[in-house]
């Protein structure tokens, strides 16, 4: 294709077309335009422009009448966009030029003064930061909601035993409440990562202009404060080329999505026919078009899968950024779609997970039955030998292993062995040992800080519910 091929017959861009005689090739317009996705930034773009115009007016860089016209004009544009009547144009590339061109259409000369002492480089850095900050705040609320759902279920099942696994092999009994609260801890760290990222991102790039700052006597503290930022950025080159805020957001998203994926995987396992630990209602399952007995946990599977795209977004943006010399390069326009997509996937996953947690009906009797199978209280027997007979733990482990082997041979549980059979292996054992072999005794004994004892779990669930209220 030569450079005159397939032009769309557009005139040179009205925002920067002074030295351009003609418009771009069609393919140039297609690859260059971001309006298809960055229209999502319209609220932040208007917010930034309002703050910038007010500052220009206060300093006297533009006249008060111009500020009034710009403010009213931007208000009208917000209404148009909300009503769906705004004429978005691909030829105007992005949300910044679409809004500015429309402003000039609506208010004339004053509209052309808005871009004094700024550039699209600091403008987009500001808009995108504001968008990520808003998304981060919304997601924090959603994470808290899921934590609340988990803590409420945990409070209801603080004393209900289930098998605890390592290697997905029966290990020791835990309570269902304890298991659910493990996810509350993970989600709390996810909130913490967002809070940390928010603190670092809350710096205003506005007024860094294209890359070097500006010769106009602007007040960057004023615009920073108006936009809820803690302070203006210290280095103009860094400010227009920094996308760490988006990367930190995506890193927090990737870790949190990984947590949600683990819970989703457990839900899939718990719902499966061999387990049947929980049941999801019609509201969170689908049927099969061929197998009438099926009740598929599709929501959980999709939460598990969305982790892939969230992590992909993080890796994708890291690759976009990794070789960029200072300062702005158009590569950075590719920062938005992964963030928008990951934010949406994360929000959906949080909402679906909260829905499933509230919806699920645990089968307490079945969990209790399996909690006691697989010699789950073998550690309790070993601990008893240490505590009562003063055996060294390694010896107790050996004795218990021999008893487990014997029980396995006879096809019974540890509690199914007779006292005589036990004494044949360790003569010191007394009938008292049977008191530690029940699932209830096992979980009740785990009173160490952070352990699964029902009293601990009830206290932790109550603490979380009050923290989250
Ligand atoms: N649409 C652009 C972006 O998303 C805005 C900044 C363009 N700046 C420039 N110098 N071409 O990055």
DSSP 222-237: HHHHHTT-SEE-S-HH
Q: Whose CA is nearest to atom 1 of ligand 1?
A: 94
pTM of the model: 0.93
Tell me the CA end-to-end span of the chain in Å, nearest whole number.
Answer: 63
Q: How far apart are the C-alpha atoms of 27 and 20, rounded to whole Å?
A: 17
Burial 338-376 (b: 16+ CB within 10 A, else e): bbbbbbebbeebbebbbbbbbbbebeeeebbebbbeebb
* Å from CA of 240 to ligand 1 middle: 10
pLDDT under 50: residue ranges of the chain: 1-4
Residues whose CB falls within 8 Å of the CB of residue 339, separated by 6 or more in sequence, listed in order: 128, 131, 132, 135, 246, 249, 250, 313, 317
Question: Mutate which of 33, 90, 330, 338 to test ligand 1's pocket (most atoms within 8 Å of Cβ)?
Answer: 330
Instruction: Report the DSSP pairing between strands 231-232 and 203-204.
Output: parallel
pLDDT at residue 9, rounded to an integer: 66
Q: Which two tokens stand for residue 265?
A: 């995987």
Active-site choice (167, 215, 448, 469): 167
Question: Mutate which of 120, 130, 211, 242 to test ligand 1's pocket (most atoms within 8 Å of Cβ)?
Answer: 120
pLDDT at residue 250, rounded to an integer: 98
Active-site residue, 398 included: no
pLDDT at residue 24, rounded to an integer: 83
Other beta carbons within 10 Å of 9: 7
* Å from CA of 328 to ligand 1 middle: 8
The Cα-based distances of 271 to 172, 264, 284 in angstroms read 21, 11, 12
> CA dihedral in degrees (7, 8, 14, 20; nearest 10)?
10
- Residues paired with residue 278 on neighbouring β-strands, in sequence order: 362
Element spanning 165, H or E: strand 161-166
pLDDT at residue 5, rounded to an integer: 52
* Å from CA of 261 to ligand 1 middle: 35
């Amino acid at each position: 294709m030569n450079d005159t091929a397939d032009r769309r017959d557009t005139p040179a861009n009205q925002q920067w077309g002074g030295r351009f005689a003609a418009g771009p090739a069609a393919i140039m317009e297609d690859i260059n335009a971001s309006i298809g996705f960055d229209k999502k930034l319209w609220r932040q773009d208007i917010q930034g422009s309002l703050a910038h115009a007010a500052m220009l007016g206060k300093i006297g860089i533009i006249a008060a009448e111009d500020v009034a016209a710009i403010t009213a004009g931007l208000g009208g544009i917000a209404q148009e966009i909300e009503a769906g009547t705004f004429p978005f144009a691909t030829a105007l590339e992005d949300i910044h030029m679409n809004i500015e061109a429309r402003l000039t259409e609506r208010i004339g000369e004053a509209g052309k003064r808005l871009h004094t002492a700024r550039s699209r480089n600091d403008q987009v850095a500001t808009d995108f930061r504001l968008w990520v900050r808003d998304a981060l705040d919304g997601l924090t609320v959603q994470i808290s909601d899921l934590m609340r759902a988990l803590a409420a279920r945990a409070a209801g099942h603080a004393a209900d035993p289930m098998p605890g696994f390592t290697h997905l092999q029966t290990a020791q009994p835990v309570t269902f409440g304890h298991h659910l609260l493990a996810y509350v801890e993970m989600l709390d760290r996810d909130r913490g990562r967002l809070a940390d990222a928010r603190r670092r991102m809350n710096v205003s790039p506005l007024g860094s202009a294209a890359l070097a700052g500006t010769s106009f006597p602007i007040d960057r503290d004023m615009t920073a404060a108006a936009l809820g930022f803690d302070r203006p950025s210290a280095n103009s080159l860094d400010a227009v080329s920094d996308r760490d805020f988006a990367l930190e957001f995506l890193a927090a998203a990737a870790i949190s999505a990984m947590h949600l994926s683990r819970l989703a995987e457990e839900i899939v396992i718990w719902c499966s026919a061999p387990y049947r630990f929980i049941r999801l209602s019609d509201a969170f399952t689908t049927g099969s078009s061929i197998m009438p007995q099926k009740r598929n946990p599709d929501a959980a599977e999709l939460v598990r899968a969305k982790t892939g795209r969230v992590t992909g977004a993080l890796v994708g943006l890291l690759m976009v950024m990794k070789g960029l010399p200072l300062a702005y390069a158009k590569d950075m326009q590719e920062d938005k779609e992964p963030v928008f997509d990951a934010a949406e996937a994360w929000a959906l996953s949080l909402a679906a997970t909260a829905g499933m947690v509230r919806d699920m009906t645990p089968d307490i009797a079945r969990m209790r039955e399996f909690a006691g199978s697989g010699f789950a209280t073998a550690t309790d027997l070993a601990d008893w030998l240490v505590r009562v007979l003063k055996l060294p733990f390694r010896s107790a482990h050996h004795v218990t292993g021999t008893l487990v082997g014997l029980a396995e041979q006879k096809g019974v549980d540890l509690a199914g062995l007779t006292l005589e059979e036990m004494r044949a292996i360790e003569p010191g054992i007394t009938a008292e040992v049977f008191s530690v072999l029940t699932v209830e005794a096992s979980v009740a004994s785990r009173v160490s800080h952070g352990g699964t004892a029902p009293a601990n779990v009830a206290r932790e669930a109550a603490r979380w519910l009050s923290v989250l209220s």
